[in-house]
Chain A
Amino acid sequence: MTTAAPPTTPGALGAGKLSPIQGLLRRRGLAKLLLLAVAAAVLVPLVRSAWPGASWPGALTVDLSGPLDHASNWIIDNRDSHWLFVYVLGHLSNAVVLSVRGVYLLLLALGWTGVTAGVTLLAWRVAGLRIAAVALVSFLVSGALGMWVPTMQTLALMIVAVLASVVVGALLGLAAGLSPRLFKILRPVLDTMQVLPAFAYLLPVVMIFGIGVPAALLATVIYAAPPMARLTALGLRGADAGVLEAVSSLGATGRQRLLTARLPLARKELLLGVNQTIMMALSMAVIASMIGAAGLGDRVYQALASVDVGAALAAAVPIVLLAIVMDRTTAAAGEKLGATPAAAGPRLLRGWPAWAGIAVITAVAALVGRLAGSAIWPAGATFAIARPVNDAKEWMVNHLYSGVPVVGGTADWAAHFTNWVLNPLRDGLTALPWYGVLLIVAALAWLIGTWRTALTAVLAMAAIGVLGVWKPSMDTLSQVLAALALTLVLGIGVGILAAGSKRFEAVLRPVLDVMQTMPQFVYLIPVVALFAVGRAPAAAAAVVYALPAVIRITTQGLRQVDPGAMESARSLGATRWQTLLQVQLPLARPALLLAVNQGVVLVLAVVIIGGLVGGGALGYDVVTGLATGNLAIGLVAGVAIVCLGLMLDRVTQPTERRTTGKGA
């Protein structure tokens, strides 16, 4: 009897491991797959007999280039005569030009002394001494790199764009926060806008406004306002119901309720919204250099076009510094909200006297700068880093690109990656029958989500085919998949390590912080330096850009696993490896799914931008469309990017999405 007992125990345990829910899920997943298989068995022969061949059938495409050209010509012809342009868009465009110009002139008038003093004091007032020091150093470095004027151009655009985005976003968010019906309509739109690559927004605004500052600013606002709207709405809706009830019980009117309770209770979300809006606006303001925004982004863009890594770096450093200063300042302002008033600094630094003091000191500094005779930036006080950086790059080209013993060279790696991973993947995807792709998309989206998500994904994918850009889309998709696989392997691996070691995480955290604040554009520079141009560097930039988010989500997910479950596993004598595989990872499944979703969204954004450095495919179509004024090509590619983004998001979307990814 006693000897018979032990063998039965493991069996019972094994059966117990498969919880009823899991079993049901598994069976439900199977049912979905079966249903799809039946549908496929019926539809595929029909489809094949109608349109043989693997590529998207020509009969099913709609050539939009004619109508689009027509529309674009019509806009160009009527820009000066039609009432819509003369009375609405014209004024809008003028207002944008005037305000950006005005802010730019003001910044120039303040001179480097005034601007630096003003920004430093502002950072001090809002975020404390340490961040003020960072701001001071950042602006001085930007000037010293000879980038003062472009920095001011970017700053002027940013100031106007952020103000506009915050106002538009807050108003939208307010409306959605107060009206449940509007919230229901707006939320999926905002959610989707947040996952679309920045490139998708460029063409439509160019079509209407032409290349120039208004288009750049509008694209920035469209890209940066959704997080503000989203977080405002969520903040207002999430306000503590108990507090609101108490406020009502005291007889507050609707307006009093909003002003004294609802908005103050949502302050954290509002400030987070401002922070995200600023970061996204910076990211877009840099990319918008392609459609007429002068400034740092333009310098990077020009330098990349001639593969001048040194010049690109000189412009990229101020971008990164600007990003860090803005992010830290707004983030610190958000953190300080919860602190006691006593901790907010000495009395002198509070209330309107502080603001007035900042204004006065700024003006004085500007005046002193003027009197000292250097309005913009002292001519002698710059040092050009372009040449030494380019020398270093030359050395790298000569010594690291190829022929390094044993490991090969970076150019060799890029070539191998292209030949052995990207090419087969692309060829495979292109060779796969189009209905096969649709089926796979449907199966994935349905397994992980609902039939709605599956339908959206399939329709988005079909739209790509209908638009006639199936082939370049498959090319882009292959790059996304390769980069995603690499990102997930690296990101989850590093995430597991970071979750296991506090010390490693402490080292990693500041690195991730900086990486997550950098605009997407900046990532192209180092990869071009290392791998030259082509599809491999584009994929590499995408991997580097998406890694921080994936690492962070994985680490958080693993850390949040119920310690009770881990403890019980350890008490049963599980090894570390067993605990990881059997307890931690399965319990962190939602976080891992989220990491995949965020990874896909971020990778796609940069793969598309990779069109600038030889990534080809859809991104290249947008770039060519812009460069040659052939809006039809660009617009179609833009729509395809939207569809691809939608499809990838839906295919990987876990039922509940969180708001962690910054600058997605």
Chain B
Amino acid sequence: MTGTAADTTAIPNPCEAGQGSAADDTGTQPVVFSVRHLWKVFGPKAERIPEDASVTDLSARELREQTGCTAAVRDVSFDVRKGEVFVVMGLSGSGKSTLVRCLTRLIEPTSGDLEMDGEDVRAMDRTALRELRRRRAAMVFQHFGLLPHRTVVDNVAYGLEIQGVGKSERRERAAEMVDKVGLAGLEKRRPGQLSGGQQQRVGLARALAVDPEVLLFDEPFSALDPLIRRDMQEEVVRLHREEGRTMVFITHDLAEALRIGDRIALMRDGQIVQLGTPEEIVGSPADDYVRDFVRDVPREQVLTVRRAMRPAEDGEATDGPALTPDTLIADAIEAVARSGGPARVVDGGRCLGIVDSACLLNVVARIPQPHHDAPGEVAA
């Protein structure tokens, strides 16, 4: 054990250091999608809008009134790193579905740069683009998009069929995927005979069958019942844990975003308002819009003890239960309540700080802790 005072000053900004573990892992990972200044404008002479400095700063309504155009995606930049779950969240009409379609050019972007693994996607010709869609990025849709005249297994094998994979081989791989998403025994059914949740499992299996580098999800669970939605979210989390595949996930459900996202980009009117880990979004909202958005989130389920701890006082550094810095507030509350005294936050044998019931309650009650709280990383 080293001196506690030195320790706390060594980490002046717990929040910045306190990014989620996944983000820590992926921070060094290669970039899969690199998006820079991407625009998608619908309307007459759409290609002029992004270059015209006089209109780029207008609000959505003013833009429509002045030019007759709608900017679904406005000057959006972000990186998706290998192995992370990148969530794009926003209300309907915020442009998130358009954004994800721009990634594989299902919707042609108006301007900006778009790279996948360092390759310029916007410069690709038809064949190269088709190859990208066939093997590197597969999408799961809100309304499933299954072929109603085909059986489950033939739907799952469809992507392989398009690639020209032989019948027996694609059947075999499709059967494997059907097993993986928990639909064994339903191979011969038609989509119309399945429940919504089962249909989306088929959609998921179809995307997985082509073994893509990236999975794109466009509000995949919005059309499902709440209980089934929860099941499917767990399924996605499980798949991600097992395979570590990169995922871009579109949703309008904040709880869903917080549950499965490593990083979240919050969109409004085509722009990214805030980009960060769930903890940053909830703990340090970039503006009133985000603050309003995350108001009802149970903070103890998202925030960690980094955000609650205070410097250790004399004698405390050796006493009480030890917690890692990534412990959720909710778990810390339990630990503190059980031991009856403050708990230590320990990282690699060093004591970073102390949390007691007052600290924890402050976080839950949204009372700022002036000497520790600091703004989170706010992007774009």
Give the B-binding residues of A (Cβ under 8 A): 240, 242-243, 245-253, 256, 260-261, 264-265, 267, 337-338, 340-341
Stretch at the interface among B13-21, B30-38, B143-151, B267-275: B143-151
B249 contact set on A, CB distance < 8 A: none
20 contacts between A and B (CB under 8 A): A242-B141, A243-B148, A245-B106, A246-B141, A246-B145, A246-B146, A249-B133, A249-B138, A249-B216, A250-B133, A250-B134, A250-B158, A251-B163, A253-B130, A260-B161, A260-B162, A265-B147, A265-B149, A267-B149, A338-B192
B318 close to chain A: CB less than 8 A: no
Q: Sort A-B residue pairs by CB-CB distance and give the 9 closest, nearest first.
A: A246-B145, A251-B134, A251-B133, A249-B139, A250-B159, A251-B130, A242-B143, A242-B145, A264-B149
B59 close to chain A: CB less than 8 A: no
B230 close to chain A: CB less than 8 A: no
- Whether A341 contacts B141 by the Cβ 8 Å rule is no
Closest to B143 in A: A242
Known A-B contacts A245-B106, A264-B149; A251 and B162 likewise in contact (beta carbons under 8 Å): yes
Closest to A246 in B: B145
- Whether A248 contacts B134 by the Cβ 8 Å rule is no
Closest to B188 in A: A341
Find A340's partner among B131, B132, B138, B190 (CB 8 Å cutoff).
Answer: B190
Give the A-binding residues of B (Cβ under 8 A): 104, 106, 130-135, 138-139, 141-149, 151, 158-159, 161-163, 188, 190, 192-193, 203, 206, 210, 216
A256 contact set on B, CB distance < 8 A: 162
Give me 5 other A-B pairs in contact (C-beta within 8 A), A245-B145, A250-B159, A341-B151 excluded.
A246-B146, A248-B106, A250-B134, A251-B131, A252-B162
Name the distance in Å between A260's Cβ and chain B's nearest Cβ: 7
Name the distance in Å between A203's Cβ and chain B's nearest Cβ: 44
| Distance between Cα atoms of A338 and B142 in the complex (Å) | 23
Interface on chain A toward B: helix, strand, loop, or mixed SS?
Answer: helix
B188 contact set on A, CB distance < 8 A: 341
| Distance between Cα atoms of A250 and B129 in the complex (Å) | 11
B203 contact set on A, CB distance < 8 A: 246
Closest to A250 in B: B159
- Whether A245 contacts B158 by the Cβ 8 Å rule is no
B104 contact set on A, CB distance < 8 A: 249
A341 contact set on B, CB distance < 8 A: 151, 188
A245 contact set on B, CB distance < 8 A: 106, 141, 145
Known A-B contacts A250-B162, A250-B210, A253-B130; A261 and B192 likewise in contact (beta carbons under 8 Å): no
| Distance between Cα atoms of A245 and B144 in the complex (Å) | 10
- Whether A243 contacts B145 by the Cβ 8 Å rule is yes
- Whether A261 contacts B106 by the Cβ 8 Å rule is no
| Distance between Cα atoms of A294 and B192 in the complex (Å) | 47
B158 contact set on A, CB distance < 8 A: 247, 250, 260
A251 contact set on B, CB distance < 8 A: 130-135, 159, 162-163
Closest to A264 in B: B149
| Distance between Cα atoms of A570 and B145 in the complex (Å) | 43
Name the distance in Å between B25's Cβ and chain A's nearest Cβ: 29
| Distance between Cα atoms of A341 and B153 in the complex (Å) | 14
Name the distance in Å between A536's Cβ and chain B's nearest Cβ: 52
| Distance between Cα atoms of A113 and B181 in the complex (Å) | 55
- Whether B130 contacts A243 by the Cβ 8 Å rule is no
| Distance between Cα atoms of A314 and B10 in the complex (Å) | 106
A264 contact set on B, CB distance < 8 A: 147, 149
B145 contact set on A, CB distance < 8 A: 240, 242-243, 245-247, 249
Name the distance in Å between A585's Cβ and chain B's nearest Cβ: 36
Q: Which interface residue of A248, A267, A341 has the most chain B CB atoms within 10 A?
A: A248
| Distance between Cα atoms of A57 and B184 in the complex (Å) | 81
- Whether A243 contacts B159 by the Cβ 8 Å rule is no
A249 contact set on B, CB distance < 8 A: 104, 106, 133, 138-139, 141, 145, 216
A250 contact set on B, CB distance < 8 A: 133-134, 138, 158-159, 162, 206, 210
Known A-B contacts A251-B131, A264-B147, A340-B193; A246 and B139 likewise in contact (beta carbons under 8 Å): yes
| Distance between Cα atoms of A167 and B149 in the complex (Å) | 23
| Distance between Cα atoms of A265 and B148 in the complex (Å) | 8
Name the distance in Å between A441's Cβ and chain B's nearest Cβ: 40
Name the distance in Å between A121's Cβ and chain B's nearest Cβ: 25
| Distance between Cα atoms of A265 and B145 in the complex (Å) | 12
| Distance between Cα atoms of A260 and B147 in the complex (Å) | 9
| Distance between Cα atoms of A338 and B192 in the complex (Å) | 9
- Whether A261 contacts B162 by the Cβ 8 Å rule is no
- Whether B210 contacts A243 by the Cβ 8 Å rule is no
| Distance between Cα atoms of A251 and B158 in the complex (Å) | 11
| Distance between Cα atoms of A340 and B188 in the complex (Å) | 10
A260 contact set on B, CB distance < 8 A: 147, 158, 161-162
| Distance between Cα atoms of A248 and B137 in the complex (Å) | 12
Name the distance in Å between A336's Cβ and chain B's nearest Cβ: 12
| Distance between Cα atoms of A216 and B210 in the complex (Å) | 55
Name the distance in Å between B33's Cβ and chain A's nearest Cβ: 15
| Distance between Cα atoms of A246 and B210 in the complex (Å) | 14
Name the distance in Å between B66's Cβ and chain A's nearest Cβ: 29
B162 contact set on A, CB distance < 8 A: 247, 250-253, 256, 260
Closest to B150 in A: A264
- Whether A243 contacts B106 by the Cβ 8 Å rule is no
Name the distance in Å between B196's Cβ and chain A's nearest Cβ: 14
